[in-house]
Amino acid sequence: MKKKFDFYSLILATIVTIVLLVVHILWGEVDLGINNLNTLVILPISLIFYLLVSYDLFIEAFKKIKHKQFFDEVTLSLIATIAAFAIGEYVEALAVVVFFQIGERFEKYAVDKSRNSIKSILNLRPDKVTLYNNEIEQVVEPFDVNIGDQFIVKSGERVPIDGIVLKGKSTLDTSSMTGESIPRTIKEGEEIISGVVNLGSPLIIKATKEFYNSTVSKMLDLVENASSQKANPEKFITKFAKIYTPIVIALAFIVAILPPLIIDYSNPNVWANYVRTAASFLVISCPCALVLSVPMSYFVSLGEASKLKVLIKGSTYLDKFTKLKNIVLDKTGTITKGNFKVNKISPENGCTKEDLLELAQYGEYFSNHPIAIAILSDNKEKLDKSLLTNYQEIEGQGIKVDFKDKGLLVGNAKLLRKYNIEFNPVDTPFTLIYVSYDHKYLGNIEIKDQIKETSVKAIDNYHKNGIKNVIMLTGDNEKIAEAVSKEAHVDKYYANLLPLDKTNKLEEIIDSSAKNITAFIGDGVNDAPSLTKADIGISMGGIGSDITIDSSDVVIMDDDLDKVNKVVKIAKNNKLTVIQNIVFALLIKLVVMILSLLPNLPIAPYIMWFAIFADVGVTVICVLNSLRLSLHFKTR
């Protein structure tokens, strides 16, 4: 009710201000006997609507004074309006508070609009959890769920807490968490992260984390607290406003008092001119445009990054992207997919590709090694394990097993040499699995960690965006590292590195390029030390890992390396907008301030209107410029 009253009061006050301005210009000095129209009509009407529109500003100012916050834009504006009333500028006094309130409402609208950019992230917060302990449904608050509790997620519901699926098989919409539009399947025994939506049959899940520690909570915490890490321009504006405001008030009092005392202290017109100048000076100097528009630029930009499924811990890290010159990448899980696939099947001695692959699958049937998983793919259920006997795993070499009562060897070259199998070794940087059956060599299968489809394009774009060096660090051998670096267009690589070696190598790179910003991109688990050491630690995928969010400055929720290029563009556009706002606001204010200090100019009687533009007008323009960032990203 109060909001509606204030809104309609402001509209009416705006109309009255325009009418009074016209009346004041045309008939303000008309003699009505004892008083002129300005005193008899305009003053009381202006005062009534002034109090109607500004009462909440006086309440706000009083509360701030109680907390020893004496100097801000509200205080400046109110002092200026009281001074305007004192010298008979009634319409100008009303106009200041009316346009100030219009500016405040516009600012609120702008903030609310920019907040919508992260609304999809904030909507991930669950309101309730349906517990399913002892197969009894009980709706509770998320914070009431303990580790080990069972809960049910029905079709269309969002998973509220991280856990393991105990019962059920379904498909998940993971787009809100990873940006991946294709639904993925989930079955019993698999881990499930909070924030994804169940599209199929109900799932019974056992909680493996408490709500405050779950994936979606950590994401929400990142988004909601992104403003806590302020960039240098934001810190400067905050400090600037605290120092600048009291200085301006002091200067305004000096302008109002000192010149009249020197020029002609007995002349009321001189006093009126300089009090008007001081009042205008106060309105002009309000730092609203900078205090609001600069943080808003960062807020909009961080929100746009979150739409891309990139969570940035604060605006200070966003600024660092504008100076990014070196990108250091982990290989497995970052450039490559981190899961092995059959890359090439090379049968020999009359064997077909199909038979060679099937023999290899039987040989790897009982193994859980990543290479075995790659060879088996989804065919394990189609194989008849009763055909296998005498299974033996030979460490560091491979598998020896009897298939249909004949010897089957599946492993590396050492395994075949051990059993005197004649074959021609193949030279390749990737993993080779040799297959022999019934003492006869039948061929080999090449296993390769696949490079992500987006990696080459992303790294090419790094170079286009001014990144000087793209460097890969890996624990793999020299041959694999060389092959991957060539395929992915990496500038330089370092191979055979342990996790600690990676951190030491990263420190060397940072030290050798001290003036430039270096980012490290890794999977966020084994690379935690490197993520912490880098100027910008960027974790790829691995959103379910606690250490990912704790160690990195930026979390990319899908595996798209090209998101870094998009964040660089966002950061550069943000920086340009911030500079535009600062230069424009200070320039306009400086010009109008100089004009206000020259009371003999023809525009002197109207300087308060110039002051209103320098305050409210400039603020609105700067805010619109900040919001333009959002429109820019939508139309890219």
Neighbour order of strands in the sheet with 431-437:
336-347, 440-451, 431-437, 406-411, 398-403, 388-394
Written as one string, the DSSP assignment of 223-277 is: HHTGGGS--HHHHHHHHHHHHHHHHHHHHHHHHHHHHHHHH-TT-HHHHHHHHHH
Please state the length of the chain.
636
Full strand arrangement of the beta sheet holding 129-131: 138-140, 129-131, 150-153, 203-207, 163-167, 191-192
CA distance linking residue 595 with residue 123, whole number of Å: 50
C-alpha distances in Å from residue 275, one per residue of 89, 250, 280, 283, 590? 11, 13, 8, 12, 19
Phi, psi of 477 (to 5 degrees): -70, 170
Residue 452, token pair as written in the block:
């992500």
Three-state SS at 466: coil
Q: Please answer whether residues 54 and 81 qualify as being in contact, where contact means their C-beta atoms are separated by less than 8 angstroms.
A: yes
Q: Are 574 and 298 in contact (CB under 8 A)?
A: yes
Please name the residues in contact with 299: beta carbons below 8 A apart, sequence gap of 6 or more.
Answer: 111, 114, 115, 227
CA atoms of 21 and 244, how far apart (whole Å): 32
Q: Where are the beta strands (DSSP E) in 290-385?
A: 310-312, 324-330, 336-347
Is 330 one of the annotated active-site residues of the chain? yes
* Angle 378-434-420 from CA coordinates, rounded to 5°: 145
546 bridge partner residues:
none
3-state secondary structure of 310: strand
Distance CA 369, CA 373 (A): 6
Phi/psi of residue 471, each to 5°? Answer: -120, 135
The catalytically annotated residue of 330, 560, 562, 615 is: 330
How far is Cα of residue 583 from the mean position of the Cα atoms in its chain? 26
DSSP class of residue 122?
H
| Residues 275, 268: Cα–Cα separation, whole Å | 10
Residue pair 446/428 in contact by the 8 Å Cβ criterion: yes
Q: Which residues are catalytic?
A: 330
